[in-house]
């Protein structure tokens, strides 16, 4: 194993920062041989450049036959989530009320988000057995790759059960007709090509299930962890939406995006067919574009300058279709957690674990009721209001 690969395994973010600063050009080699864009402006250009963004999105793999099918499915799910935000908030209120005073994160965060989204993923009249299987999958390592081999083996068992159960439900819904979408599964069935097998539709649903719940849950965890570490022992001095935006900048779960290279791209020494990676993390920490990029500073979002390329959901033709609903769900969840409560963490660490993205290391969240006087309540209300344009 090379020195750089050992360095990467110890601390992935420090490793790619080291490689970027050492590289003489705008791109550099990653420890496993792929190219990575080190310049923030070039990163944004690559994500927007038609040469790099033709054809199909790799997000869906080979499940859908055309780009138009991919767009239709993505938009249908996005529109459903956007329309059902009030239902999410109702489920969120109940889930937060049941959260114990001490909980283990980030697992508790993904479980909290899943419970709040459960009726949007599969409507309440879906067979209870399948809904229980989805809950087991959410808690059993299907959403975020577990660290241990035995945990990953169990997650594969749960994933198999989930696919079987969803495929059976797809067959039943197709036979009876779905009408207006009641949940994400209906939205998928209604927009994917009719020739897809029930199993393929089930696999597509599981891809979306993971893509909705895991990033939202992990970003909620990052927001809580980073804010508590940087404002210990007191209510946060920042509005929640600034905390969320800064968490998405400082620790974007989608930290690396890959693109196949065309024949060439300006002066970039990449041959056709090679993989070119763009790192939102590097773009968010480019000192030429961001003021104090390594610092967690939510107040930067109230300042007129010091902002660089902001790519937590990508940009260009393959921007995440669910970017806006995701931001709403994350902000609503963090707001609900902080409403009338004092949050502290123990065991927190800003170094991430690489598990299908930048995932927080385990920490314990302590949440206790906070008594506030009328003045403090007014201040807290003002701080939690979203910024106005």
Residues in the chain: 389
Nearest to 107 by CA among 134, 142, 157: 142
| 35 bridge partner residues | 29, 276
> pLDDT by residue (tens digit) across 343-375?
999 998 899 988 889 999 999 999 998 754 444
pLDDT at 130: 97
DSSP annotation of 285: T
Q: How confident is the model at residue 39 (pLDDT cuts 50, 70, 90)?
A: confident
> pLDDT by residue (tens digit) across 282-334?
999 999 899 999 999 999 999 888 788 999 998 888 888 888 999 999 999 99
Q: Reply yes or no on whether the pLDDT at 47 is more than 90.
A: no
Could you give the CA distance from residue 128 to residue 144 in angstroms, rounded to a whole number? Answer: 24
Could you give the CA distance from residue 74 to residue 81 in angstroms, rounded to a whole number? Answer: 11
Is the four-CA dihedral 293, 295, 298, 299 of positive or negative sign?
Answer: negative
Residue 59 in tokens: 């997000």
Domains by residue range for the chain, with CATH? 3-384 (1.10.630.10)
Cis omega (within 30 of 0) on the bond before 106?
Answer: yes
pLDDT at 267: 66
Nearest to 356 by CA among 197, 182, 217, 247: 217
- SS3 category, 120: helix
Could you give the CA distance from residue 188 to residue 107 in angstroms, rounded to a whole number? Answer: 27
Average pLDDT of every residue of the chain: 89
> pLDDT by residue (tens digit) across 222-270?
999 999 999 987 789 999 999 999 999 999 999 998 887 776 666 667 7
Distances (CA, A) of 331 to 34, 53, 87: 35, 30, 15
pLDDT at 263: 64
Could you give the CA distance from residue 255 to residue 253 in angstroms, rounded to a whole number? Answer: 5
């Amino acid at each position: 194993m090379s020195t750089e690969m050992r360095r990467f395994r110890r601390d992935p973010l420090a490793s790619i920062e080291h490689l970027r600063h050492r590289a003489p050009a705008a791109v550099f080699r990653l420890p496993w041989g792929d190219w990575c864009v080190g310049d923030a402006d070039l990163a944004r250009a690559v994500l927007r450049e038609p040469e790099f963004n033709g054809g199909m999105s790799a997000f869906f793999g080979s499940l859908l036959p055309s780009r138009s099918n991919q767009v239709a499915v993505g938009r249908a799910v996005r529109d459903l989530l956007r329309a059902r935000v009030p239902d999410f908030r109702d489920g969120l209120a109940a889930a937060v009320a049941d959260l114990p005073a001490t909980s283990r994160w980030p697992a508790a965060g993904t479980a909290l988000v899943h419970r709040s989204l459960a009726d949007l993923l599969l409507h309440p009249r879906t067979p209870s057995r399948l809904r229980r299987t989805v809950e087991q999958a959410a808690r059993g390592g299907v959403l975020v790759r577990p660290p241990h081999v035995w945990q990953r083996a169990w997650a594969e068992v749960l994933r198999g059960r989930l696919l079987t159960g969803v495929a059976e439900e797809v067959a039943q819904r197709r036979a009876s007709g779905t009408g207006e979408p009641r949940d994400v599964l209906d939205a998928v069935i209604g927009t994917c090509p009719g020739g897809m097998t029930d199993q393929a539709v089930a696999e597509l649903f599981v891809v979306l299930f993971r893509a909705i719940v895991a990033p939202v849950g992990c970003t909620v965890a990052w927001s809580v962890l980073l804010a508590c570490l940087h404002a210990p022992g007191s209510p946060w001095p920042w509005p929640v939406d600034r905390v969320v935006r800064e968490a998405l900048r400082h620790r974007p779960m989608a930290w690396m995006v890959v693109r196949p290279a065309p024949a060439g791209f300006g002066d970039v020494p990449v041959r056709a067919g090679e993989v070119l990676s763009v790192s939102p993390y590097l773009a968010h920490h480019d000192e030429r574009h961001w003021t104090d990029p390594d610092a967690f500073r939510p107040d930067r979002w109230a300042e007129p300058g010091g902002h660089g390329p902001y790519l937590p959901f990508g940009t260009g033709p393959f921007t995440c279709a669910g970017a806006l609903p995701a931001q709403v769900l994350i902000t609503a969840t963090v707001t609900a957690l902080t409403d009338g409560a004092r949050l502290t963490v123990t065991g927190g660490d800003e170094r991430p674990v690489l598990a299908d993205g930048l995932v927080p290391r385990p920490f314990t969240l302590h949440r206790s009721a906070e008594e506030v006087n009328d003045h403090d309540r007014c201040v807290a209300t003002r701080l939690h209001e979203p910024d106005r344009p």
